[in-house]
Structure 1
Amino acid sequence: MGYNKDEKGCRRMTEHAYREFEASALYCARCRRAVAVRKKLLLILPTGAQYDYVCQECGSPVGSKLDQDPTEFRRTARAAGPPPLPTGPPRRRPL
Protein backbone atom coordinates (compact mmCIF):
# COMPACT_ATOMS: atom_id res chain seq x y z
CA MET A 1 0.00 0.00 0.00
CA GLY A 2 1.28 3.42 -0.82
CA TYR A 3 1.16 6.37 1.52
CA ASN A 4 1.66 10.03 0.65
CA LYS A 5 1.98 12.98 3.00
CA ASP A 6 -0.48 15.82 2.49
CA GLU A 7 0.23 19.52 3.05
CA LYS A 8 -0.18 19.11 6.83
CA GLY A 9 2.28 16.23 6.93
CA CYS A 10 -0.38 13.58 7.61
CA ARG A 11 -0.01 10.25 5.89
CA ARG A 12 -2.79 9.33 3.47
CA MET A 13 -3.27 6.31 1.27
CA THR A 14 -2.88 6.92 -2.43
CA GLU A 15 -5.77 6.28 -4.79
CA HIS A 16 -4.13 3.35 -6.56
CA ALA A 17 -4.35 1.31 -3.37
CA TYR A 18 -8.13 1.17 -3.79
CA ARG A 19 -8.45 0.44 -7.51
CA GLU A 20 -8.88 -3.32 -7.16
CA PHE A 21 -11.11 -4.91 -4.53
CA GLU A 22 -11.49 -8.61 -3.82
CA ALA A 23 -14.64 -9.59 -1.97
CA SER A 24 -14.17 -12.05 0.88
CA ALA A 25 -17.77 -11.97 2.16
CA LEU A 26 -21.03 -10.90 0.51
CA TYR A 27 -24.72 -11.10 1.38
CA CYS A 28 -26.37 -14.32 0.17
CA ALA A 29 -30.14 -14.07 -0.42
CA ARG A 30 -30.61 -17.82 -0.02
CA CYS A 31 -28.69 -18.05 3.29
CA ARG A 32 -30.05 -14.63 4.37
CA ARG A 33 -26.74 -13.48 5.81
CA ALA A 34 -23.23 -12.40 4.85
CA VAL A 35 -21.15 -15.44 3.93
CA ALA A 36 -17.67 -16.19 2.65
CA VAL A 37 -17.47 -16.32 -1.15
CA ARG A 38 -15.35 -18.01 -3.80
CA LYS A 39 -14.21 -16.12 -6.88
CA LYS A 40 -14.88 -18.16 -10.03
CA LEU A 41 -13.61 -17.22 -13.51
CA LEU A 42 -16.66 -16.99 -15.75
CA LEU A 43 -15.54 -15.44 -19.04
CA ILE A 44 -12.35 -14.10 -20.63
CA LEU A 45 -12.91 -11.12 -22.93
CA PRO A 46 -10.48 -8.93 -24.91
CA THR A 47 -11.29 -6.06 -22.53
CA GLY A 48 -10.79 -8.10 -19.35
CA ALA A 49 -12.13 -11.05 -17.40
CA GLN A 50 -15.56 -11.57 -15.82
CA TYR A 51 -15.68 -13.28 -12.43
CA ASP A 52 -18.61 -14.66 -10.45
CA TYR A 53 -18.70 -14.62 -6.66
CA VAL A 54 -20.35 -17.79 -5.33
CA CYS A 55 -21.58 -18.51 -1.79
CA GLN A 56 -19.34 -21.10 -0.12
CA GLU A 57 -22.24 -22.57 1.82
CA CYS A 58 -25.05 -23.02 -0.72
CA GLY A 59 -23.25 -22.42 -4.05
CA SER A 60 -25.60 -19.73 -5.33
CA PRO A 61 -24.15 -16.73 -7.21
CA VAL A 62 -24.05 -13.62 -5.04
CA GLY A 63 -22.19 -11.12 -7.24
CA SER A 64 -19.89 -10.56 -10.17
CA LYS A 65 -16.84 -8.52 -11.09
CA LEU A 66 -15.48 -7.30 -14.42
CA ASP A 67 -11.70 -7.02 -14.32
CA GLN A 68 -10.42 -4.42 -16.80
CA ASP A 69 -6.99 -6.08 -17.16
CA PRO A 70 -6.70 -7.73 -20.63
CA THR A 71 -3.49 -9.68 -19.82
CA GLU A 72 -5.46 -12.88 -19.10
CA PHE A 73 -6.99 -12.72 -22.59
CA ARG A 74 -3.62 -12.18 -24.22
CA ARG A 75 -2.13 -15.10 -22.30
CA THR A 76 -4.93 -17.48 -23.36
CA ALA A 77 -4.91 -16.19 -26.95
CA ARG A 78 -1.19 -16.94 -27.18
CA ALA A 79 -1.74 -20.44 -25.80
CA ALA A 80 -4.51 -21.13 -28.34
CA GLY A 81 -2.28 -20.21 -31.30
CA PRO A 82 -0.28 -22.69 -33.38
CA PRO A 83 2.70 -24.31 -31.66
CA PRO A 84 6.08 -22.75 -32.37
CA LEU A 85 8.17 -24.29 -35.11
CA PRO A 86 10.97 -26.57 -33.90
CA THR A 87 14.45 -25.14 -34.03
CA GLY A 88 17.70 -26.97 -34.42
CA PRO A 89 18.80 -29.81 -36.71
CA PRO A 90 16.10 -31.92 -38.39
CA ARG A 91 15.30 -35.31 -36.87
CA ARG A 92 16.25 -38.50 -38.62
CA ARG A 93 13.55 -40.92 -39.61
CA PRO A 94 13.97 -44.53 -38.54
CA LEU A 95 14.56 -46.96 -41.42
Structure 2
Amino acid sequence: MKTNNETGCALCNSTWGEYYRKIDGQKMLFCCNICADIFEDMVKKVKEETGWKKLNEVELHGNYSTSRNCVARHGKKQFNYYFRTYSNGEMMEFRSKDENKPI
Protein backbone atom coordinates (compact mmCIF):
# COMPACT_ATOMS: atom_id res chain seq x y z
CA MET A 1 0.00 0.00 0.00
CA LYS A 2 1.39 3.35 -1.01
CA THR A 3 1.02 6.58 0.97
CA ASN A 4 1.99 10.14 0.12
CA ASN A 5 4.37 10.05 3.11
CA GLU A 6 7.39 8.56 1.37
CA THR A 7 10.35 9.76 3.46
CA GLY A 8 9.34 8.51 6.91
CA CYS A 9 6.44 7.17 8.91
CA ALA A 10 3.55 5.98 6.71
CA LEU A 11 1.14 8.03 8.85
CA CYS A 12 2.94 11.20 9.98
CA ASN A 13 6.06 11.19 7.77
CA SER A 14 8.35 11.55 10.82
CA THR A 15 11.87 10.27 10.22
CA TRP A 16 12.98 9.70 13.83
CA GLY A 17 11.62 6.19 14.44
CA GLU A 18 12.09 2.70 13.10
CA TYR A 19 8.97 0.73 13.95
CA TYR A 20 7.73 -1.76 11.36
CA ARG A 21 4.38 -3.50 11.11
CA LYS A 22 2.70 -5.58 8.42
CA ILE A 23 -0.46 -3.93 7.15
CA ASP A 24 -2.38 -6.02 4.60
CA GLY A 25 0.67 -8.28 4.29
CA GLN A 26 3.04 -5.41 3.50
CA LYS A 27 5.86 -4.40 5.85
CA MET A 28 5.42 -0.66 6.49
CA LEU A 29 7.59 1.87 8.33
CA PHE A 30 6.17 3.90 11.21
CA CYS A 31 7.86 6.14 13.74
CA CYS A 32 6.17 4.40 16.69
CA ASN A 33 3.57 1.83 17.68
CA ILE A 34 0.93 4.57 18.17
CA CYS A 35 1.16 5.67 14.53
CA ALA A 36 1.05 2.01 13.45
CA ASP A 37 -2.07 1.44 15.59
CA ILE A 38 -3.76 4.54 14.15
CA PHE A 39 -2.91 3.56 10.57
CA GLU A 40 -4.07 -0.03 11.05
CA ASP A 41 -7.36 1.12 12.61
CA MET A 42 -7.89 3.67 9.84
CA VAL A 43 -7.35 1.04 7.14
CA LYS A 44 -9.81 -1.28 8.89
CA LYS A 45 -12.48 1.46 9.04
CA VAL A 46 -12.02 2.35 5.36
CA LYS A 47 -12.39 -1.32 4.38
CA GLU A 48 -15.53 -1.67 6.51
CA GLU A 49 -17.09 1.41 4.93
CA THR A 50 -16.16 0.61 1.32
CA GLY A 51 -16.25 -3.18 1.28
CA TRP A 52 -12.80 -3.22 -0.33
CA LYS A 53 -10.47 -6.12 0.49
CA LYS A 54 -7.30 -4.02 0.02
CA LEU A 55 -6.27 -0.41 -0.43
CA ASN A 56 -3.80 0.51 -3.16
CA GLU A 57 -3.03 3.98 -1.87
CA VAL A 58 -3.82 6.34 0.99
CA GLU A 59 -3.27 10.08 0.71
CA LEU A 60 -3.12 11.78 4.13
CA HIS A 61 -3.14 15.50 4.91
CA GLY A 62 -3.03 16.94 8.44
CA ASN A 63 -2.00 15.57 11.83
CA TYR A 64 -3.44 14.20 15.06
CA SER A 65 -4.12 17.61 16.61
CA THR A 66 -5.74 19.25 13.59
CA SER A 67 -7.27 16.07 12.09
CA ARG A 68 -6.56 14.36 8.80
CA ASN A 69 -8.35 14.69 5.47
CA CYS A 70 -7.68 11.61 3.40
CA VAL A 71 -8.34 9.82 0.15
CA ALA A 72 -8.13 6.03 -0.10
CA ARG A 73 -7.87 4.44 -3.52
CA HIS A 74 -8.61 0.96 -4.81
CA GLY A 75 -8.15 0.63 -8.54
CA LYS A 76 -10.12 3.49 -10.12
CA LYS A 77 -12.34 3.92 -7.06
CA GLN A 78 -11.69 6.42 -4.30
CA PHE A 79 -13.09 7.16 -0.85
CA ASN A 80 -12.78 10.61 0.76
CA TYR A 81 -12.81 10.73 4.55
CA TYR A 82 -11.80 12.64 7.64
CA PHE A 83 -10.54 11.36 10.98
CA ARG A 84 -9.21 12.58 14.31
CA THR A 85 -7.46 10.67 17.06
CA TYR A 86 -6.52 11.29 20.64
CA SER A 87 -2.78 11.54 21.38
CA ASN A 88 -2.84 7.91 22.59
CA GLY A 89 -4.00 6.76 19.12
CA GLU A 90 -7.62 6.08 20.00
CA MET A 91 -10.04 7.08 17.25
CA MET A 92 -12.04 10.18 18.19
CA GLU A 93 -13.96 10.65 14.95
CA PHE A 94 -14.12 8.98 11.54
CA ARG A 95 -16.42 10.41 8.89
CA SER A 96 -16.98 9.92 5.20
CA LYS A 97 -16.59 13.24 3.43
CA ASP A 98 -18.68 11.93 0.56
CA GLU A 99 -21.75 11.36 2.75
CA ASN A 100 -20.85 13.76 5.58
CA LYS A 101 -22.12 11.43 8.29
CA PRO A 102 -20.34 9.69 11.16
CA ILE A 103 -19.44 6.07 10.60
Q: TM-score, normalised by structure 1?
A: 0.31
Structure with greater contact order relative to length (CA < 8 Å, sep ≥ 6): 2
Larger Rg: 1
